Amino acid sequence: MKTTIPVTDLQNRLKIAEKLALQAGQMLMQARNSGRFKSNYKAHQELVTSTDEEIDTWLVTRLKAAFPDDQILSEEGNTESATAEQAAALWILDPIDGTVNFAHGQPHVAISIGLYAYGVPQLGVVHSPFLKETFVALRGQGAMKNNQPISVSGLQELRPALIATGFPYDKTQLAPLIRRLERVLPKCQDLRRCGSAALDICHVADGSLDGYYESLSLWDFAAAVLIAEEAGAQLSHLYSSALSFYLDTRDWVITTPAIHEPLKALLLEADQSN
């Protein structure tokens, strides 16, 4: 029988995860300020820095020490998610969400730490050291930014909405995304591409963005989707899938509730126009 993680245990885990995220943020700032990091490319197209790898290793080591029975999935380490739905406690880490921004001196950079139980997020921490923003959430207990409760914007119409999205490293995949952009942009106030999915989703949570859509990797959204959900966001995927909802990486749509269906309709229209 599957058992959930007790609330007191989750609260303890959240304290530790937040402390680790803040410490990792200091490492990130020191690396940026010193300029002592190396850049490389995964699969000849995805930027990765030595700081990604250092923070990944540091987080994994400390989480293993604190919770030796837990499993860990991380962008620069173990990326195998096939058994994620069976894991009683699975940490999902992104040491630097927004690596390109980090390497270019841009501020939209975050450390993301999520904890899943049987394929469902239980806690999330997203810390942005350069923006001085720390988002946290526990399932069923709301979401916070810098220790203050947050909620989605509550916007009722799509036309005045500020929407965010992103684009993949593989530029051969751009054409259908540009069609979506062409369909959405005239129907909203404006569109942003900030370069950190975790932060974009958290900014839907705090109401500074009204919606977000993109296909992602699991570590990009594992913490942030819970933060958004606990702040009142509506979450869905553009297309149905056999995958578990919170493990499905394709075509996330995350918005303040009233604009959810209008945004999805525009995205579907764009796809059907091909």
pLDDT tens for residues 169-226?
Answer: 888 889 999 999 999 999 999 999 999 999 999 999 999 999 999 999 999 999 999 9
Task: Let me know whether 18 and 109 are in one domain.
Answer: yes
Work out the average pLDDT over 15-33.
95
Work out the average pLDDT over 81-110.
92
Provide the CATH number for the domain around residue 55: 3.30.540.10
Question: d(Cα 142, Cα 65) in Å, to the nearest integer?
Answer: 28
Q: What is the pLDDT of residue 42?
A: 67
In a domain? residue 1: no
Binding residues: 75, 94, 96-97, 220
The structural domain count of the chain equals 2
Q: Residue 158 is encoded by which pair of tokens?
A: 């799509």
Do 80 and 99 form a contact (C-beta atoms < 8 A)? no
Work out the average pLDDT over 19-29.
96
Q: What is the pLDDT of residue 52?
A: 86
Taking Cα atoms as reference points, which of 140, 116, 118, 147 lies closest to residue 13? 116
Residue 9: is its pLDDT beyond 70? yes
Taking Cα atoms as reference points, which of 123, 91, 129, 137 lies closest to residue 110? 129
Work out the average pLDDT over 82-102.
92
Question: d(Cα 132, Cα 130) in Å, to the nearest integer?
Answer: 5
pTM here is: 0.94
Binding residues for Mg(2+): 75, 94, 96-97, 220
Q: What is the pLDDT of residue 47?
A: 72
Q: What is the pLDDT of residue 267?
A: 98
Mean pLDDT of the chain: 93
Task: Let me know whether 110 and 179 are in one domain.
Answer: no
Q: What is the pLDDT of residue 32?
A: 85
Task: Let me know whether 78 and 133 are in one domain.
Answer: yes
- In percent, the amount of the chain with pLDDT more than 70 equals 97
- DSSP lists the bridge partners of residue 73 as 92
DSSP summary character for residue 59: H
Task: Let me know whether 135 and 170 are in one domain.
Answer: no
Work out the average pLDDT over 44-53.
76
Taking Cα atoms as reference points, which of 161, 178, 175 lies closest to residue 254? 161
Residue 63, domain extent: 7-149
Choice between 5 and 11, residue whose per-residue pLDDT is larger: 11
Q: What is the pLDDT of residue 124?
A: 98
Taking Cα atoms as reference points, which of 110, 112, 141 lies closest to residue 5? 141
Task: Let me know whether 124 and 182 are in one domain.
Answer: no
Residue 259: is its pLDDT beyond 80? yes
Task: Let me know whether 19 and 141 are in one domain.
Answer: yes
pLDDT tens for residues 121-164?
Answer: 999 999 999 999 999 999 999 999 999 999 999 999 999 999 99
